[in-house]
Every structure is written in structure tokens, then in C-alpha cells.
Amino acid sequence: MRIWLYIILASSALLGLVSSFTKEDYEIFRLRDELEATEGKEVTFYDFLGVKSSASQDEIGKAYRTMSRKMHPDKAKQSFIASRAKATSKPQIGQKNKKPSVHVNKTPSEREIQAEVKKASERYARLGVVTEILKGSSRERYDYFMSNGFPSWRGTGYYYARFRPGLGTVLVGLFAFGGGLVHYGAMYLSWKRQRTFVEQLIQDSRKAAWGNDSGIRGIPGVDGAMAGTTATPPSQTFVRENGAAVLNRRQKRMQEKENKKEDKKSKVAKRSGTSTPIEIEPDPGPQGVRRKVQAPNGKVMIVDSVGNVYLEEEDEDGTKQEFLLDPDELPQPTFGQTVLFRLPVWTYSTLKSWITGVQAHHEQAEVVGLGPNNREETDAGGTQILTNGSARNRGKKNGKLHA
């Protein structure tokens, strides 16, 4: 469950980083769009004022005073009217001896003048807002967007352009998520459920056999309450017949190890004399008195006097086997068992075995082609001996070899 807690905390942290834009941010975005529409693309607030991005407050104020005199609406009006009168330096055709005259265009109409004054007023007001942003606390916010990128207008608001992955990226991402995280979560939940089931089964079996969860048999005659409540029919209490018991794989391995230890100790005892005590190792099978109980799922369980619980199963031949129930024998899953890791390993091993098999086949074919069945030998008498037992004589005629 700890891994899911980490995932939730990481998701919460990522969601906390996503915040809505403030009113000042929207003002910066709107002003930037207006500058790009009127002044040109990639024009920054610093370019509009004619200063560098590292300019101080005094330099920004000085640049504002200079630009405000140039962009004042009254001066813009006069410049617009004067721009209609242009001097023509080239003489007209057929009048070579005449001096250049001033060609005066038609005076602009009142509507044109008002439109130009309106544009100049908007530009002048924009200059003041830009100066306030760069001289105030919003300058840091503007520098941040200028370094990391500005969002774009998407019809209803400003949004950053999202990365749109292709089909291959989507498939790889789904494989990494499903084959890694989801697969590990499913394996972990299955392991946890199996472990809980085994632990609960052991507890129920101990309680049904000895009356407590510890699984240790009480002292007869002392623990009367236990003796009165946990008495079982004599048919359910038994001892191993002829000292033999059916062992599972783990018990067999343990028994083999113990037998090896006993052999070594017996050799040492023989060398040291008959008075040397021999330590007897405990039997890995059920200890002492055992009781049979039936689990809720119908399985027959065997509980010994030390609390070990065994599952009794009978095969088709009628042979009964006992398997020790131990929750620690259930291995906890790891990320290395997920499809994300096992599929590339399986693919690599398959390709490697296929390539090595093809190479071995080619080498074998070359060995067969150059083997003793296709070799030709020539004896000292000039007779060519073939592999099929036939021979071909070579003689000389006109100084040339012939068959």
C-alpha cells in the first residue's frame, strides 16, 4: 500500500503546480498580443521602449520620456499632415532646364486625421502601460513568461500549447504503464491476498485444534478450560505409524541436510570414542501429538503440538502427503517480474537463440560440404582417388595431363 501512497502524493504535488493565471498575467498577455499585432512579431516590452532586458529603473524612466515625446498624439498629427508633402528631386520629362519643384499632395481629410490620431493615442497609452509593468512588481512575472514562453489565446482563454504524442509514443506509454505499474499492482494485491488467506487459515486451524491462536497445546490437567472445550475424538488424535511420515519438498531438503550433518557428527564421534555425546537433530515433520481439523473450504489440516499447520492431500494412488503452511514461503513480487522487464528479456533471448541456431546451421553445412565425403586425394602414381571408392587415372599426352 505504500507505493499507492507515493503515487497519490506525487499526483497531488503535480496538481498543486497547476494554477490559474492572475489578472496581471492576463494584462501582460493582452498587451503582448497588441504589440505583436501593431509593432511586429517577437517585439518585446524592452524593444518597444528601446532598452535592454537588464536595464535599470532609471534607464527605463529615461527611455520612457524620450519615447513619449516622439509618440505624443499632437506630434503624430503634425507628422502625418507633413508626410503628405514630399519634395521631388527628379525633373519632369521634357522639362530638363527647370529646377525641381515641390509636389504637394492633397491635404488629408478630417476622417483620416482622426484615425491617425486614434492610433497614436492607443500607441501612446500602450507605452505608458508597458513602462508601468517594467517599473513595477509585474516585471519579474513578465521576465518569467519571456524566458519560459507565453501561452496562446484559444478562444476562451490563454492556454499553453500541449504536446500531442504520436501513435508510437502512446503505445510505448501504455505498455510502460500497463506492463509495469498496473501489472506490479495486480501481482502485489494477489500476493497480499494469498498471504492473508494462509495466515487466517493457520489461525483458524490452531484455534480449532488447541483452542487458542498461539497453536501451542495446553498442559493436561492444568488448563481445564482448554481441555473441556477442545477435546476431540480419539480418532482425530494419532501418531505417525512406524515412525514414517510423508514429507514435502522443503522437508525433504531439510532432512537431507540434517542427514549429512548426522553423518559428519557420527564420524567425529567414532574418532573421539564412545563417550562422546551425539546431538540428535529435531525431525522437520509434525512434532508430538497431532490433531486433524477441517478447514472452512473442506481441506483437512493437521496441527501438531508446537503449532505447525500442515495440509493433508491424497493423490490418485491413495498416498497421503503433508505440506507445511508457511506465509513466508510466498515470495513477494518485484518489478523484475512484470511484463515491462520480462518481455524485452524474452525477446532478446529468443532472437539470440535464433541467430546462434542459424549460425550453427551454416557452420554445420560448411563442415558437411568440406567433409571427408567430398574430398579428393591423389596418390603417388597419379591416380585420383574419389570418396565413393572409384579411381580415375591421369596420364600425359602431348605434355598435358588428361584423364
* DSSP character string of 20-87: ---HHHHHHHHHHHHHHHHT-TT--HHHHHT--TT--HHHHHHHHHHHHHHH-HHHHHHHHHHTTEEE
Assigned C-alpha cell, 232: 476431540
Separation CA 359–CA 375 (nearest Å): 24
- What is the pLDDT at residue 234? 38
CA distance 403 to 397: 10
Alpha-carbon distance of 391 to 386, in angstroms, equals 6
Report residue 227 CA to chain centroid gap. 58
Angstrom distance (rounded) from CA 327 to CA 49: 75
Model confidence, pTM = 0.41
Q: Phi then psi for 311, rounded to 5 degrees?
A: -95, 125
CATH topology of domain 18-85+105-162: Helix Hairpins (1.10.287)
| Residues 296 and 199 sit within 8 Å (Cβ to Cβ) | no
Lowest mean pLDDT among 29-43, 64-78, 229-243, 367-381: 229-243
- Contact yes or no for 307/214 (Cβ under 8 A): yes
**Helix, strand, or coil here: 139?**
helix
End-to-end Cα separation, the chain, in angstroms: 88
Highest mean pLDDT among 24-38, 145-159, 260-274: 24-38
Long-range CB pairs of 45-49, under 8 A, 24+ apart, other chains included: 45/130, 45/133, 45/134, 45/142, 46/134, 48/126, 48/127, 48/130, 49/127, 49/130, 49/131, 49/134
Length of the chain: 403
Q: How confident is the model at residue 268 (pLDDT cuts 50, 70, 90)?
A: low
pLDDT given for residue 402 in this prediction = 45
> How high is the mean pLDDT of the chain?
73
Answer whether 72's CB lies under 8 Å from 124's CB.
yes
| 146 in Cβ contact with 155 (< 8 Å) | no
Q: Which residue has the higher pLDDT, 106 or 248?
A: 106
Distance CA 137, CA 144 (A): 12
Q: Give the C-alpha separation, 33 to 153, whole Å.
A: 9
The 10s digit of each residue's pLDDT in 343-377 is 999 999 999 999 988 777 777 776 665 554 554 44
The pLDDT, as a whole number, for residue 246 is: 47
- pLDDT at 289 (0 to 100): 76
For the chain, the domains span 18-85+105-162, 170-247+285-329, 371-403
What stretches of 89-182 show up as alpha helix (H) in DSSP?
A: 110-135, 138-148, 167-176
